[in-house]
């Protein structure tokens, strides 16, 4: 019997063997069948089981078909022994891969969604137990596989002709004709915006929707969406008209898009065990200090800022969440750099504020950071993301654009924010916007310097 809890990989990706310490004496034995803290620390997914089932088998040779229910399982026996067999039914290079193992009181197996699961009892009176993370419901259809498929060639200890097998399981299709399980996809909400387009380029297999296809401010639309087809939500949708958010109509729209919608997505993420990535802004801070660390209390100034701060707090209630705060976003679309480039080409001499200081964030950088955090399984929570290098003012950025395009950087005039907004109906802006990037760097990410990315952006 094992004395230490261990988790072992198998040839089927995600299928894990768990060796369970068993404490035995004259009365019988005891084990911790599911111990979330210890097992997840060893690499077992935190799959959040919601139902525990037990299948009791009277006689040796009872054989259950290769079934691929749409949920994760944690299987074990609580009496006797069983021969377990698993077949990968997921689309991809591992389709058809098999693994077999004898299950006893010291062995359990984590079975990911899309892997067919079956067993054959090796003793009389075997109790086969399985935790699942979806509630069983009648009428559910899922792939199944012929136990005797010669291509899979499972070496059943008891020949199937001598085993107890249901008529239904004897009639299941062979691998060549079996339905493949499609992988869950990433959903990009707000896919037609600057960031949304960059996310789709970085996640080419993702499904992109805009608000005319999925209005996340509409509870009925959110409830009707097929969330079971996805494993990750990238929420790039937002109300970003900072000044219009101060109007009666804009205030309502901003609160709906930036606060209520993320709150709804957080509830969806927990209900369907999805990872929610939400994009926020430096506006959640009042800009009186720098650099901004993730644990700095939010202190929003205007309505737009207040709604984004509320959205951050709502998303943080989801079990699997990343809030990626970013600043001065530049991508494929209308933005400050494109405006300065146009003015440089037109021979204009713009005047730009020089006391708002921060860093540019290019959308391709933010999209790559998103992939990095997801694939590295970085700790959930808030991360500050921007390009690197020394902070600059908006006027500095404009002067760099002019210089890179062959204009004299001195053609960019400079003015304070107070002078610029005098007599205008504008929402307040934070003056100091630079982020502390230490938490992101600790995950293994090195941010490309903003000025290097600017040069690449203008010459692309």
Residues 336 and 1: their CA atoms lie apart, in Å, by: 66
CB 69 within 8 A of CB 132: yes
Contact 364, 198 (CB under 8 A): yes
CA distance 94 to 97: 6
Q: What is the DSSP string of 246-306?
A: GSHHHHHHHHIIIIIHHHHHHHHHHHHT-EEEEEEEGGGS-SSSSSBPTTSPP---SHHHH
Beta-bridge partners for 108: 18, 76
Q: Is 321 marked active-site?
A: no
Instruction: Calculate helix-pair angle for 303-315, 261-272, nearest 10 degrees.
Output: 10
164 in Cβ contact with 122 (< 8 Å) = no
* Bridge partner residues of 278 (DSSP): 235, 323
Q: Which of 249, 255, 198, 229 is nearest to 369 (CA)?
A: 198
Distances (CA, A) of 234 to 44, 113, 214, 216, 446: 24, 22, 13, 12, 22
Q: Is residue 67 annotated as part of the catalytic site, yes or no?
A: yes
Catalytic site residue from 119, 128, 130, 279: 130
Gap between the Cα atoms of 146 and 169, Å rounded: 7
Strand partners, 414: 352
Burial 32-63 (b: 16+ CB within 10 A, else e): eebeeeebeeeebbebebeeeeebebeebbbb
Active-site hit among 67, 272, 372, 380: 67
Beta strand residue intervals within 106-242, DSSP E:
107-111, 115-121, 126-132, 144-145, 185-189, 207-209, 230-235
Tokens representing 273 are: 């065990």
Three-class SS state of 451: helix
For residue 266, the Cα-to-chain-centroid distance in whole angstroms is 12
Residues known to be catalytic: 67, 130
């Amino acid at each position: 019997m094992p004395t230490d809890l261990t988790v072992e990989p198998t040839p089927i990706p995600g299928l894990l063997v768990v060796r369970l310490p068993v404490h035995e004496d004259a009365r019988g034995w005891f084990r911790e069948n599911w111990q979330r803290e210890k097992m997840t620390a060893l690499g077992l997914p935190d799959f959040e089981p919601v139902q525990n089932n037990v299948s009791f088998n009277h006689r040796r040779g009872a054989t259950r078909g290769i079934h691929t229910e749409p949920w994760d399982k944690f299987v074990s026996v609580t009496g006797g022994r069983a021969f377990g067999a698993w077949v990968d039914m997921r689309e991809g290079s591992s389709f058809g891969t098999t693994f077999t193992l004898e299950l006893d009181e010291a062995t359990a197996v984590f079975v990911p969604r899309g892997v067919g699961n079956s067993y054959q009892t090796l003793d009389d009176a075997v109790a086969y137990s399985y935790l699942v993370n979806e509630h069983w419901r009648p009428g559910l259809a899922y792939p199944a596989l012929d136990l005797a498929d010669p291509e899979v060639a499972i070496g059943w200890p008891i020949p199937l002709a001598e085993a107890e097998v249901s008529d239904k399981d004897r009639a299941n299709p062979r691998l060549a004709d079996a339905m493949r399980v499609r992988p869950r996809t990433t959903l990009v909400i707000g896919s037609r915006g600057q960031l949304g387009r960059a996310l789709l380029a970085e996640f080419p297999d993702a499904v992109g929707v805009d608000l005319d296809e999925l209005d996340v401010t509409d509870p009925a639309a959110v409830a009707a969406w097929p969330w079971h087809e996805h494993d990750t939500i990238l929420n790039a949708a937002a109300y970003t008209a900072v000044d219009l958010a101060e109007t009666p109509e804009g205030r309502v729209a901003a609160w709906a898009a930036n606060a209520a919608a993320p709150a709804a997505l957080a509830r969806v993420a927990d209900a369907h065990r999805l990872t929610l990535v939400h994009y926020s802004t430096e506006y959640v801070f009042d800009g009186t200090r720098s650099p901004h660390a993730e644990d700095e209390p939010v202190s929003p100034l205007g309505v737009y800022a207040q709604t984004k701060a509320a959205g951050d707090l709502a998303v943080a209630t989801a079990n699997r969440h990343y809030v990626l705060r970013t600043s001065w976003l530049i991508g494929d679309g209308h933005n400050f750099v494109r405006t300065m480039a146009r003015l440089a080409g037109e021979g204009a001499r713009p005047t730009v504020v020089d006391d708002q200081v921060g860093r540019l964030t290019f959308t391709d950088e933010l999209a790559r950071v998103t992939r990095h955090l997801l694939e590295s399984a970085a700790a959930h929570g808030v991360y500050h993301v921007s390009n690197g290098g020394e902070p600059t003012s908006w006027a500095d950025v404009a002067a760099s654009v002019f210089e890179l395009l062959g204009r004299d950087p001195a053609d960019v005039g400079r003015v304070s924010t107070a002078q610029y907004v005098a007599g205008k109906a504008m929402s307040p802006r934070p003056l100091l916007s630079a982020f502390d990037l230490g938490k992101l760097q600790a995950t293994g990410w090195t941010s490309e310097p903003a000025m290097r990315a600017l040069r690449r952006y203008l010459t692309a």
